Structure 1
Amino acid sequence: MTSKNSPLPYRDGVPPSYLILPCDEEHPKGRWPNLLSFLQHRFPHIDPELLRQRLAKGDLMNNNGEPLSEDAAFIAGMKIWYYREVPDERPVPFQEDIIYEDDLIVIADKPHWLSTIPSGRHLKETLLIRLRNRLQLPDLVPAHRLDRETAGLVLLCKQPQHRGAYQTMFQQRQVKKTYRAVAGINPELKLPRIHRSLMVKGDYFFTMKEEKGEPNSETAITLLTRQGDRALYEMKPHTGRQHQLRLHLSAMGIGIENDPWYPNVQPEADHDDYNTPLQLLAYTLEFTDPVTGEDRFFKSNRQLTIPHPAT
């Protein structure tokens, strides 16, 4: 976990994390001869020698910011601070672009393959950490997120006191968003159309699926241009469910090109094959700024495998 009330500063754009040593019946005070033995139990997926080395280097600290030694005692309820690390993190060989910046916000044009925020095996190679370091803005946070596989526009807030206003704007659907995608053609599909469905958790990992029932998701879909047996589509989501656009297009028989999850899960697919990016782009953002009252409109400069039609 991370916290604002930290005795440690950000390091390379990454905030410190903390762990509170347990004091419940399952972890009685006398069970662990020292801190290292508990950590080896708590993190069985980490090489025990690596944990020992991190303690020896002083990488774990107490609530006063003082390094904990290799033979430090286990003290139930104590808060331990550390910087999360991802050994051998794979670089993402694509650059984010900043298309707008003022005193309040940054509008970034995110490439495919770059996670919005740190998660799992992605830490420094994420949009947020890259921009914190690039702009020297440790308090920068995204107001919303895009999937790692999706390219396009992300709004990030500079000032903590205005963070809630921008995040609420997205949560309350006060932002008009358009996406574009390359997918196949279903000759039986009548477009434009509005697709509504009840979306629930899927049967595999973090996927979603549709079931019968009161719809909780809605997307307007338009065909923009055709290229052989493929087409460029524009989508305007009214709701923001996880994988909504990917699922909705798949359900209409026009699954997005290079999608390893829809319509069929491909667990053996190479999810880091940079030659086959998901053909989904967060294309525009339009909103009234909740702080200044200004009308804002931003458009991505990125292209998919079918070019955007001239406007």
Structure 2
Amino acid sequence: MRRVNRHLKPQPLPQRNGVDAVSFVLPDAANPADDTFGAATVLDYLAARFYPHARPLFEERFERDEVKDAEGGPVAPDAPLVGQKIWYYRQLGQERPVPFDMPVLYEDEWVMAIDKPHFLPTTPNGSFVAHTALVKLRVRENNPLLIPIHRLDRATAGVVLFAKTPEARAPFQTMFERRALSKTYEAVAAPIPELGVGDSMTVRSRIDNAHGQLQVAQTGVDFLPGDVPPLAPETRAEKRKRHSANLPFTGLNAESKITCLATYPRQDAEAWQPSCNVSQNSAGVKKEHAPEILSTTEQRVPSQLAHYRLEPHTGKTHQLRVHLAAAGAPIIGDVIYPEVLPPTETDPELRLQLLARSLSFTHPITGEALTISSKRRLTLAPH
């Protein structure tokens, strides 16, 4: 029988359908450095900053007593701005549901692993809140304390771990921070000329998030053939010395091992049919397409494909996607690398061919050796 934890931790406002209330520190009107948007009261400020053309959205929150202070007391709409912290429920927009399941791959008293589908975000972010793995699992498992230990991109499918209690979160996150586990991914891309079947190479680089950009910034790319020792992480002593000198880390921070498992012609990939067919997008809507009107991502599929095993030794944003793109083999179905494709109203017909296949680690609480593997397969992977 599966176990469900219900150790509730009180908050000023409880979760609503798996969604946490948000907290916000208001400006102090007496501080000239704080921007009050010309407002003198809490309601005026919230409306002016977030909904200048829809003030009733916040007025209704106050009427329903859904704006609380840090101690859980009610906040009056005409309360002055004194730098206080408040809690309220965010306004949810229209979200397109992802009609796929999230089977449980492993579960014990402390942690749960699920098999995330493509197109489902791991956590609330931007326009996705209710239709995220975290919110859906909290409701389905009747556990408001679930929290992800790591994340996958919305476009990536596969194994994701969730802590079931606040106490379990720290030891598992420490395991990730210390790289005390093995992560294996699979991808389909064009063949890399210098990488034969069974051959491996390691890609190292520096990856930095670029503010306001979909793509990350990558510099110092290096390709190392064969098996090489992992890039040594910065030691605590080195980090303390750098911090004491107020210096940023400027070395390489991303490393991935790429192994070619197979190469094969495109027509051998299951579900790739050059004749007209009917398929479903992530919204469950059927659509017909013929070869001459294939989507931009589908037009990118080369005549020869390669199936790769990817082993990231670090966990930077978009790491595997930029490393394969740097090797001249961007992942099939990628709408961000090597260049950003124009957005569409629905998700791409061809899913990103990237799958988080497995996690292997020693359970930080029980000491048990575990390997958790996804049951999914990539559309264009060989049989």
Q: TM-score, normalised by structure 1?
A: 0.88
Q: Which runs of 5+ in 2 are unaligned?
A: 1-8, 222-250, 266-303
SS of the residue 1:89 aligns to: coil
Higher RCO (C-alpha under 8 Å, 6+ residues apart): 2
Aligned residues of 2:256 and 2:313 also touching (Cα < 8 A) = yes
Moved more, 242-251 or 180-189: 180-189
Per-residue deviation, 1:226? 2.3
- Candidates 88, 96, 100, aligned match of 2:106: 100
- Candidates 173, 193, 196, aligned match of 1:187: 193
Per-residue deviation, 1:243? 0.8
Where do residues 37-76 of structure 1 align in structure 2 (5 Å cutoff)? 37-44=44-51, 47-63=54-70, 65-68=72-75, 71-76=77-82
Aligned to 1:254: 329
Go from structure 1 to structure 2 and tell me whether the alpha carbon gap of 1:60 and 1:233 turns closer, same or farther (over 3 Å shift).
same
Aligned residues of 1:196 and 1:218 also touching (Cα < 8 A) = yes
Q: TM-score, normalised by structure 2?
A: 0.73
Aligned residues of 2:51 and 2:57 also touching (Cα < 8 A) = no
- Candidates 235, 238, 249, aligned match of 2:310: 235
Q: Which runs of 5+ in 1 are unaligned?
A: none
d(CA) in 2 for partners of 1:269, 1:75: 40
Per-residue deviation, 1:65? 3.7
Go from structure 1 to structure 2 and tell me whether the alpha carbon gap of 1:45 and 1:253 turns closer, same or farther (over 3 Å shift).
farther
Per-residue deviation, 1:246? 0.2
SS of the residue 1:61 aligns to: strand
- Note the alpha carbon deviations across 1:9-44, whole angstroms, 9 max, x for none: 222112222222211224599x63432221122215
Letter in 2 for 1:207: Q
Per-residue deviation, 1:66? 4.8
Moved more, 32-41 or 135-144: 32-41
Per-residue deviation, 1:51? 2.5
SS of the residue 1:51 aligns to: helix
Aligned to 2:274: none
Aligned residues of 1:32 and 1:74 also touching (Cα < 8 A) = no
User: When the two structures are aligned, how many residues end up with a matched partner?
Assistant: 303
Go from structure 1 to structure 2 and tell me whether the alpha carbon gap of 1:210 and 1:81 turns closer, same or farther (over 3 Å shift).
closer
SS of the residue 1:168 aligns to: helix
d(CA) in 1 for partners of 2:313, 2:363: 19
d(CA) in 2 for partners of 1:94, 1:163: 26
d(CA) in 2 for partners of 1:61, 1:211: 46
Per-residue deviation, 1:188? 4.1
d(CA) in 1 for partners of 2:172, 2:35: 44
Where do residues 56-135 of structure 1 align in structure 2 (5 Å cutoff)? 56-63=63-70, 65-68=72-75, 71-135=77-141
Aligned to 1:13: 18
- Note the alpha carbon deviations across 1:122-160, whole angstroms, 9 max, x for none: 111111111111111111111111111110001111121
